[in-house]
Amino acid sequence: MTWRPALSRAAALRHCDVRHADLLIVPERIVVLNEEAAAIVRLCDGARTVEEIVAEFPDGAGEDVTEFLERVRDEGWIR
């Protein structure tokens, strides 16, 4: 089955107006995302495949995006 990344039940993506930052919030932990990371996580809607997410970024970024998605999946924040 093709992986269509989506935020896990544990995780919430929030923009914080006070800190002007995108945050990934999980139990007992808050991860401050940089702009690229936030852009990737926002595309994890359970509909797009990894290939489709990668296609949203400039050529050559594919490997970084894929690696990032796998790392965040290992943390349990996306599934």
Partner 1 sequence: MNAPWAMLAELTHGCPLRCPYCSNPTELVVRSRELAIEEWERVMAEAAALGVVHVHLSGGEPLMRRDLPRIVAAAEREGIYGQLVTSGVGLTAKRLDELVAAGLRSVQLSVQDATAAASDRIAGRRSFAAKERAAALVRDRELPLGLNVVLHRHNLDSIDRIVELGIAWGVERIELANTQFYGWGLLNRKALLPTREQLATAAEKVAAWRSRTSLELIWVVPDYFEGVPKPCMGGWGAISLTVAPDGRVLPCPAAYDLPLEAPNVRDHALAWIWKDSPAFNAYRGTAWMAEPCASCPRRDLDFGGCRCQASALTGDAGRTDPACALSPDHRLITELASAGGDGEFVYRPVTRNA
The piece of 10-18, 38-46, 47-55, 58-66 that touches partner 1 (CB under 8 A) is 10-18
Q: What are phi and psi of 5, to 5 degrees?
A: -60, 135
Residue 46 near partner 1 by CB under 8 A: no
The letter for the amino acid at 62 is G
Residue 47 near partner 1 by CB under 8 A: no
Q: How far apart, in Å, are the Cα atoms of 24 and each of 2, 47, 51, 59, 78?
A: 24, 20, 22, 26, 11
The CA distance from 55 to 28, in Å, is 33
Residue 71 near partner 1 by CB under 8 A: no
Residue 25 near partner 1 by CB under 8 A: yes
Q: Which residues bind partner 1 (CB under 8 A)?
A: 9-10, 12, 14, 16, 18-19, 23, 25-28, 30, 76
